[in-house]
Amino acid sequence: MDFATLLQMLDATLRLATPLLLACLAGLFSERAGIFDIGLEGKMLAAAFLSAAIAAVSGSVWLGLLAGIGASMLLSLIHGLASITFRGNQLISGVAINFLAAGLTVVIAQSWFSQGGRTPQLTGDARFNPIELPFAEALQNVPILGPIYYELISGHTILVYVALAMVPLTWWILFRTRFGLRLRAVGENPAAVDTAGISVVWLRFAAVGICGILCGIAGAYLATALQAGFVKDMSAGRGFIALAALIFAKWRPWYALYACLLFGFLQAMSLRSDVIENVIGFQVNGQFLDVLPYILTVVILAGFVGKAIPPRAGGEPYVKER
């Protein structure tokens, strides 16, 4: 494999890791506050659809992004209502949200655009276009660093940089602010937070809301940046890979970045099986690369390679009276 191919692969890794990273950080906020969320997939899908639809109709990708976030927030609200207000089962609520999104997106897309459950192709300002970082062109000919800067770091859509910036931001919010401390506490011991006079319900709703925003961005990225329009089931299990990455990262922001880059790299590899064959000399089944994230997660969950311990109060509705 030559240097240019390697750069191409890493470039694809970054593009494919972005939706995983955004969804993974979304899950991080929710689960750190004690709300399990297996509905990441559905929220991404709903956001992907509405962002593409609004972008197609209005011609503005930014309006699309807002609409996508709105759709994702609405599902978050349902999840919050079910799991916080009515103390229902968070896992069942997540399953319901996934199906709600899978069904509604196609039903609405079909009646709105009549294109077999897709939105029209997005062009021009209706999708996020790559942005050239300063001096990328000029520095292109500098050996090694030039191509890295030009190919790998520059030339992505703005949402890729947003996702990368979210990692330190998430770390700072969770570990350096009062809100973050309380949010983590509510996921470990909600009774203690309640005793301190802080509203458990409000904190958990805030976490679920942040989760909605991030999933919304992730979905909008799928439909308006990675691809040009919505197609049925386009999230294609990414919400679950993000969930896997979250466990892989043991619910920590920086590790989440590494896990998502790893899983993004696996996805990039399965797209370029010819390159792998050249490097290691034999053919690798693309299917195998696709499910490797899931297998790795099961191994991690089994505790054979370091133990993944979830937030202690995760999945339990908080009941004030005893």
Residue numbers at the binding site for other proteins (CB under 8 A): 38, 78, 81-83, 86-93, 95-100, 102-104, 106-108, 110-111, 114, 117, 237, 240, 243-244, 247, 285, 287-288, 290-291, 294-295, 297-298, 301-303, 310
Supply the minimum distance, in Å, between the C-beta of residue 299 and other proteins: 10
Helix (H) or strand (E) holding 74: helix 61-80
CB atoms within 10 A of CB 158: 15
Residue 63 tokens read as 């309006």
Q: Which is nearer to other proteins, 10 or 54 (CB)?
A: 54
Question: In this structure, are residues 51 and 65 in contact, taking their beta carbons and an 8 Å threshold?
Answer: yes
Only one residue has tokens 């062109």, namely: 137
Nearest approach, Cβ of residue 47 and other proteins (Å): 17
Cβ nearer to other proteins, comparing 154 with 297: 297
Residue 3 CB, shortest distance to other proteins, in Å, is 32
Instruction: Give the tokens for residue 239.
Output: 């919400």
Nearer of residues 58 and 115 to other proteins, judged by Cβ: 115
Decide whether 102 or 198 has the Cβ nearer to other proteins. Answer: 102
CA dist 170 to 49, 84, 126, 187, 247, Å?
Answer: 26, 23, 29, 16, 17
Please report how close the Cβ of residue 112 comes to other proteins at its closest, in angstroms.
Answer: 8
Amino acid sitting at position 110: Q
State the nearest-atom distance from the C-beta of 171 to other proteins, in Å. 24
Question: What count of other Cβ atoms lies within 10 Å of the Cβ of residue 258?
Answer: 15
CB of 61 or CB of 244, closer to other proteins: 244
